[in-house]
Amino acid sequence: MNDGSLSYRPINLGRWIIWGGTLVLFIVLPLIFKQGFARTLLAQMGILIIFALSYNMLLGQTGMLSFGHAVYSGLGAYFAIHTLNLIGAHQVVFPVSLVPLVGAVFGMVFGVVFGYPTTQKSGTPFAMITLGIGELVFACSLMFPGFFGGEGGISGNRTVGGNFLGIKGLNFGPDVQVYYLIAFWCFVSMIAMYAWTQTPLGRIANAVRDNPERVEFIGYNTQRVRWLVLILSSFFAGLAGGLSAINFEIVTAENVSALRSGGVLLAAFIGGMLFFFGPIVGAVVFSFFAIALSDITKAWQLYLGAFFVLLVMYAPGGLSSLILMNLRVMSFGKMKRLRDPYLGVALAGLTLLVGVVLLIELTYHLTLEAGGASTITMFGFPLDAHGRETWTFVIAMLAGGGLAFEYMRRRFKQEWDAIHVEIEDWARENPEQA
């Protein structure tokens, strides 16, 4: 849809409105969604938001693609849960509400130690080193069962700290209390990480992303910049890990696995790495896939992967860039022209999607439940996985939806491009305001 360069300015909304609104949202959400399921979802979103934002400090802000970020969050989680157990055994006096900071500090320590050799290189070698260190730490986790707890991991109890500030019943046992703890740290982290983007190091990190060689010629040691950013990023990753330890009350080798590292990469990318709020969106969407969708269908990872690849191919700026592009069109008052094309694309796309989903779910059913019943229920309708009618329907949806989608997509693109040509022309005539 665009040529990859940023051609729009950020929308200038009142900063206080956004941050204040976010705070209100954080406070109010668990009161609206009272079910345990919803609250666990929110809690995990909060943790992933911190993790994904920390990841974007590396990727979106500084241009460092890491495949091993879970090392810092996972190691932070391990240290946090050990601390929790020390508190429980009365060997240490430390408030549970501050245990995430333990995770943060140790995440940072490893950021210093691992970060130094890692940031000696950049680009693809950097990505490879992070992958290597990730695999290294994961493999080590099975070698030292004393610290890592072997296959079963290390479990803990988050209520061991007694009552928070002495308030009766406030021991972080209930879901809603853990949620507010997470929400607190999440909000604080968001502010901190945002503030960082407005500091000298934050801006120079952007410069390193755009042109690492040139940065040296304005007086900055590029490697030092990368190392420092990694250290700060690993602090917040460790914080997320510490919260994860408290939330799940267990830490296993999976916390340092390549799967976790891949997950946060997906989350940050899906949301979009170009803007600060991108990873927040990505964390929310990813959580939906991983937690809500995984309950509905076993094929959720396939959907997630396909969604990710489609974004890479058609919207590498992620969902946040899509949102902002549309907001920009709106600000020029040209959104009405896209109403019909959008409708067309949506309907055709929905048809195609239903076909694809049916195809996947039916195939899954045939493979996994080979001996069982042959009917599955989709959207409330029973479908016979062996029935010819079912498959004819699926093929019809796929073919029809596919053709319609392609046609609608082209029409949409025409209109979209036309609008943007107009915008470019206007920008050329009004260079100060573009």
Partner 1 sequence: MTPELALISALNGISYGLLLFMLASGLTLIFSMMGVLNFAHASFYMLGAYFGYQIAKWIGFWPALVVAPLLAGALGALVERFGLRRVHKWGHVPELLFTFGLSFIIVELVQVIWGRPPVPNDLPPELQGHLFTIYTTTFPISRGFIMLVAVLMMVALWLVLTRTRIGLVIQAALTHPDQVEALGHNVRRVFMLVFGGGCALAGLAGVIGGVVFVTEPSMAAVAGAIIFVVIVVGGMGSLAGAFVASILIGVIQTFGLALDYSLAGILRGIGVEVTPSTFGYAVWKLTIAQVAPVLPFLLLVLILIVRPRGLMGTREG
Partner 2 sequence: MSQDNRSVTSALSEAGISGANAAALELKDLRKSFGKTEIIRGVTLSIAQGERHALIGPNGAGKSTLFNLISGRFPPSSGSIRLLGSEVTGRRPFEINRMGLARSFQITNIFQRLSVFENLRCAVLWSLGYKYSFWRNLNKLSDARERAEEVLRRIGLKRRRNIAAGLLTYAEQRALEIGITIAGGASVILLDEPTAGMSRGETASAVALIREVTQGKTLIMVEHDMGVVFDLADRISVVVYGEIIASGPPAQIRANAKVKEAYLGHHAEAA
User: Rounded to whole angstroms, how far apart are CA atoms 284 and 50?
Assistant: 11
Nearest approach, Cβ of residue 147 and partner 1 (Å): 8
> Considering only 48-56, 119-127, 161-169, 284-292, which stretch makes contact with partner 1 by CB under 8 A?
119-127
- Interface mask toward partner 2 for 179-198; x: CB under 8 A: ----------------xx-x
In total, the chain counts a number of residues equal to 434
Q: Is 376 helix (H, G, I), strand (E, B) or coil?
A: strand
Candidate residues 45, 133, 208, 329; the one interacting with partner 1 per rule CB under 8 A = 133
Residue 2 touches which of partner 1, partner 2, none (Cβ within 5-8 Å per kind): none
**Identity of the residue, 305 or 387, whose beta carbon is nearer to partner 1 in the bound complex:** 305
CB-based contacts of 66: which residues, under 8 Å, 6+ apart? 55, 58, 59, 126, 127, 130, 261, 265
User: Rounded to whole angstroms, how far apart are CA atoms 400 and 389?
Assistant: 16
Q: Is 187 helix (H, G, I), strand (E, B) or coil?
A: helix
Nearest approach, Cβ of residue 211 and partner 2 (Å): 5
Residue 222 touches which of partner 2, partner 1, none (Cβ within 5-8 Å per kind): partner 2
**Identity of the residue, 134 or 242, whose beta carbon is nearer to partner 1 in the bound complex:** 134
Instruction: State the DSSP H helix or E strand holding residue 209, giving kind and residue range, or none if neither.
Output: helix 200-210
Closest CA to 26 of 39, 16, 37, 36: 39
Q: Is 327 in the site for partner 2 (CB under 8 A)?
A: no
Instruction: State the DSSP H helix or E strand holding residue 227, giving kind and residue range, or none if neither.
Output: helix 222-248
According to CB under 8 A, which residues from 271 to 310 bind partner 1?
Answer: 299, 301-302, 304-306, 308-309
User: Rounded to whole angstroms, how far apart are CA atoms 201 and 207?
Assistant: 10
User: Rounded to whole angstroms, how far apart are CA atoms 166 and 362?
Assistant: 55
Q: Is 166 in the site for partner 1 (CB under 8 A)?
A: no
Nearest approach, Cβ of residue 275 and partner 1 (Å): 17
Residue 312 touches which of partner 2, partner 1, none (Cβ within 5-8 Å per kind): partner 1
Q: Is 367 in the site for partner 2 (CB under 8 A)?
A: no
Q: Is the dihedral of CA 63, 67, 68, 70 positive or negative?
A: positive
User: Rounded to whole angstroms, how far apart are CA atoms 432 and 434?
Assistant: 6
Candidate residues 16, 217, 379, 381; the one interacting with partner 2 per rule CB under 8 A = 217
Report the interface residues with partner 1, using CB under 8 A. 4, 65, 117, 120-121, 123-125, 127-129, 131-133, 135-136, 139-140, 142-144, 146-147, 258, 262, 265, 269, 299, 301-302, 304-306, 308-309, 312-313, 316, 360, 363-364, 367-368
